[in-house]
Amino acid sequence: MGRSPCCEKAHTNKGAWTREEDERLVAHVRAHGEGCWRSLPSAAGLLRCGKSCRLRWINYLRPDLKRGNFSRDEDELIVKLHSLLGNKWSLIAARLPGRTDNEIKNYWNTHIRRKLLGRGIDPVTHRPLTDAATEERPPARACAKPVKMEQLQQGGICFRCSILRVRGAATECSCGSNFLGLRAGMLDF
């Protein structure tokens, strides 16, 4: 038994969106704004699940999307942010106007990752591959005691569990270890 599906799958379309579906979704969001994705499909006359509508809007139809190739600056910023935040694509995307988390995630996996590996840099640790192979370091894993989201809004990275943005005034992550402060000048949370 899993959790109940987010929508009635028998009556929803899947796969690539058609031009007509896009137009319906854009028209509805323009008229009513974002939000209430659950009820949007029926209100907009779409045979899609709400999640699918949200994803389509955020990743493709939003008017403020930049699209096109990533600039060198964006490229470097993504690498810097990833070294600090890890695979927190939504947080990285928040620092790149006009880019989506999905777009950055894809770009990372298809371009940057390969480029770093080509330079002999581990794309996970951002250290030289030889160091990463020989050095004793804790395995990357989820923190046993997850930090609440409001704590993550504040700043800092736990070196043990790699949880980011632990409250700046505190000296310990919820997993029990000390954390590194943000590197000056890298980010201005």
Partner DNA sequence: AACACGTCCAACCGCCTTACG
Partner DNA sequence: CCGTAAGGCGGTTGGACGTGT
Residues forming the site for DNA (CB under 7 A) = 2-4, 6, 13-17, 35-38, 48, 50-52, 54-56, 59-60, 87-91, 101-103, 105-107, 109-111, 114, 146, 148-150
Which of 3, 30 has the CB closer to DNA? 3
Name the residue nearer to DNA (CB basis): 50 or 155.
50
Place of tokens 């995630």: 105
Instruction: Transcribe 81-147 into DSSP letters.
Output: HHHHHSS-HHHHHHTSTT--HHHHHHHIIIIIHHHHHHTTB-TTT-SBHHHHHHS--PPP---SSPP
Nearer to DNA, 121 or 163 (CB): 163
- CB of 184: closest distance to DNA in angstroms? 24
Closest CB 98 distance from DNA, rounded Å: 13
Of 133, 173, 136, the residue nearest 151 (C-alpha): 173
Minimal distance, residue 63 CB to DNA, in Å: 15
Instruction: Specify the residue, 10 or 184, whose C-beta has the smaller distance to DNA.
Output: 10
**Least separation, in Å, of the C-beta of 152 and DNA?**
7
DSSP secondary structure, 49-77, as one string: -HHHHHHHIIIII-TT---SPPPHHHHHH
Q: Which is nearer to DNA, 37 or 159 (CB)?
A: 37
Shortest Cβ 16–DNA spacing (Å): 4
b/e 47-70 (16+ beta carbons within 10 angstroms → b): ebbbebbbbbbeeebeeeeeeeeb
User: How far apart are the C-alpha atoms of 101 and 41, rounded to whole Å?
Assistant: 23
- Of 56 and 121, the one with the shorter C-beta distance to DNA is 56
Minimum distance from residue 168 beta carbon to DNA (Å): 17
Q: Name the residue among 58, 53, 153, 40 with its Cα closest to residue 102.
A: 58
